[in-house]
Structure 1
Amino acid sequence: MRGGSCTRPQARVNERAAMLTEAHFKNFKLLRDVRLPLGPLNVLVGPNAVGKSTVLEGMHYLLQLAAAKPATLRPGSPFWSKRAVEDLVAKPDATELALEAVLADGRRFGIRAGAAKEEPEPERFHLWFGKEGQETELRLPSGDQEEERLFFRGPREAKLGSVVRLKLHAETLAAEHYSEEEIPGVGHDGEGLASVLQYVQGLRDGTLEAIEHDLATIVPGARRIRALPARLKRRETHRISVDGQDFWTEQSRDVTGARFEVEWEGLGWVPAGQLSEGTLLALGLITVVRFDAPRLVLLDDLDKALHPVAQRKLVAHLRGVLDTTPHLQIVATSHSPFLLDELRVQEVIVMSRAGARGSALRRLDEHPTSQKRGAYLRPGELWSLVDEGWVSEGVG
Structure 2
Amino acid sequence: MLEKLTLHNFKSHKLTELNFDNSRLHGLVGKNSAGKTSVLQALHYPSMLINVSFDRIFQYEKERLKFLQFITTIGEKNVSVTASGYWLNSSKQHWDFFYSYEPDNVSNRPFKVTFNINGNSYNWNPHTGFAKNESKIPPSLKNTIYLKLIASNLAKPAYSDKITPRVEFDGSGLAPTLDFLRDEAPDKFQLIEEMLRRIVPNVRKVGIRRAKVPVIRKRLIEVDGRSISYDETQEMTGQEVVLDMNTGERISAHAISEGTMLTLGLLTVLMNPTQPNLVLLDDVEQGLHPQAQRQLMTVFKEIIAENPNLQIIFSTHSPYIIDELVPSQVHILNNSNSGFTIAKRLDEHPDVEWAKQTLTTGEFWDAEGEDWVVEGEVSG
Q: Given the two structures, how large is their TM-score scaled by the length of structure 2? A: 0.89
Q: Does 1:44 align with 2:28?
A: yes
Q: 1:74 to 1:272 in 2, by over 3 A?
A: closer
Residue in 2 aligned with 1:274?
A: 255
Aligned to 1:5: none
1:248 shift after superposition: 4.1
**Contact 2:140–2:278, Cα closer than 8 Å, also in 1:** no
**Does residue 374 of the first structure (1) align with residue 356 of the second (2)?**
yes
For 2:110, the equivalent position in structure 1 comes to: 124
| 1:75–1:341 Cα change, 3 Å | closer
Output the amino acid matched with 1:180: D
Residues 24 and 63 (structure 1), Cα distance of their counterparts in 2 relative to 1, 3 Å cut: farther
Paired residues of 2:2 and 2:140 also in contact (CA < 8 A)? no
Q: Which amino acid aligns with 2:115?
A: F
Q: Distance in 1 between matches of 2:254 and 2:125?
A: 47
Q: Which runs of 5+ in 2 are unaligned?
A: 87-92
Q: Cα gap change, 1:33/1:204 in structure 2, threshold over 3 Å: closer, same or farther?
A: closer
Query: Structure 1 residues 252 and 210 mapped into 2: Cα distance closer, same or farther (>3 Å)?
Result: same
- With over 3 angstroms needed to count, the CA separation of the structure-2 counterparts of 1:279 and 1:179, relative to structure 1, is same
Structure 1 residue 204 displacement after superposition: 5.1
| Corresponding residue of 1:306 | 288
Range 314-323 or range 58-67, more displaced: 58-67
Aligned 8 A contact 1:62 1:100 in 2: no
How far apart are the structure 1 equivalents of 2:56 and 2:255?
A: 45
Match of 2:319 in 1: 337
The residue that corresponds to 2:47 in the other structure is 63
Contact 2:179/2:208 (<8 A) preserved: yes
Q: CA deviation at 1:232?
A: 2.1
Contact 2:49 2:57 in 1 (8 A): no
1:373 Cα deviation (Å)?
Answer: 1.4
Partner residue of 2:306? Answer: 324
Work out whether residues 179 and 192 of structure 1, in 8 Å CA contact, stay in contact via their aligned partners in 2: yes
Q: Could you tell me how far apart the structure 2 residues matched to 1:375 and 1:236 are?
A: 60
Aligned residue for 1:108?
A: 96
**SS at structure 1 position matched to 2:142:** coil
Alignment of 1:179-328 (within 5 A): 179-203=160-184, 205-291=186-272, 292-328=274-310
- Opposite residue 114 of structure 2, the aligned amino acid is W
Letter in 1 for 2:150: H
2:123 maps to a residue whose letter is: L
* CA displacement at 1:30 relative to structure 2: 0.7
1:269–1:388 CA distance, 2 compared to 1 (3 A): same
**Partner letter of residue 214 of structure 1?**
M
Matched, 1:90 2:76: no
* 3-state SS in 1 of match to 2:269: helix
**Aligned mates of 2:50, 2:324 — CA distance in 1:** 33
SS of aligned partner of 1:209: helix
Contact 1:22 1:102 in 2 (8 A): yes
CA distance in structure 1 between the partners assigned to 2:124 and 2:112 by the alignment: 5
What is the alpha-carbon distance in structure 2 between the residues aligned to residue 80 and residue 43 of structure 1? Answer: 36
CA contact (8 A) 2:46 2:141 kept: no
Amino acid at match of 1:219: V
Give the Cα separation in 1 of the matches to 2:181 and 2:235: 24
For 2:133 and 2:376, the matched residues in 1 are separated by: 39
Letter aligned with residue 267 of structure 1: G
**Residue 341 of structure 1: how far off its partner (Å):** 1.1
- The one-letter amino acid of 1:91's match is I
Contact 1:74 1:140 (8 Å CA) reproduced: no
Q: Is the 8 A contact 1:75 1:123 kept in 2?
A: no
Is 1:27–2:9 an aligned residue pair?
yes
1:233 aligned counterpart, secondary structure: strand
* Shift in CA distance, 258/50, structure 1 to aligned 2, threshold 3 Å: same
- What does 1:137-176 correspond to in 2, within 5 Å? 137-138=122-123, 145=128, 148-155=130-137, 158=139, 160-176=141-157
CA-CA distance at 1:35 after TM superposition = 1.0
Alignment root-mean-square deviation, CA: 2.5
CA distance in 2, matches of 1:365, 1:342: 15
- Rounded Cα–Cα distance in structure 2 between residues aligned with 1:244 and 1:74: 28
Say whether residues 1:136 and 2:124 are aligned partners.
no
**Displacement after TM superposition at 1:217 (Å):** 0.3
CA distance in 2, matches of 1:374, 1:109: 35
Q: Which runs of 5+ in 1 are unaligned?
A: 1-18
Give me the whole-angstrom Cα distance separating, in 1, the residues matched to 2:185 and 2:47. 33
Q: TM-score normalized by structure 1?
A: 0.86
Deviation at 1:138, TM superposition (A): 2.8
Q: SS of 1:60's equivalent?
A: helix
CA 1:111–1:251 in structure 2 vs 1: closer, same or farther (change >3 Å)? closer
For the structure 1 residues 242 and 358, does the alpha-carbon distance in structure 2 shift closer, same or farther, using more than 3 Å as the test? Answer: closer
Tell me the matched-pair count: 368
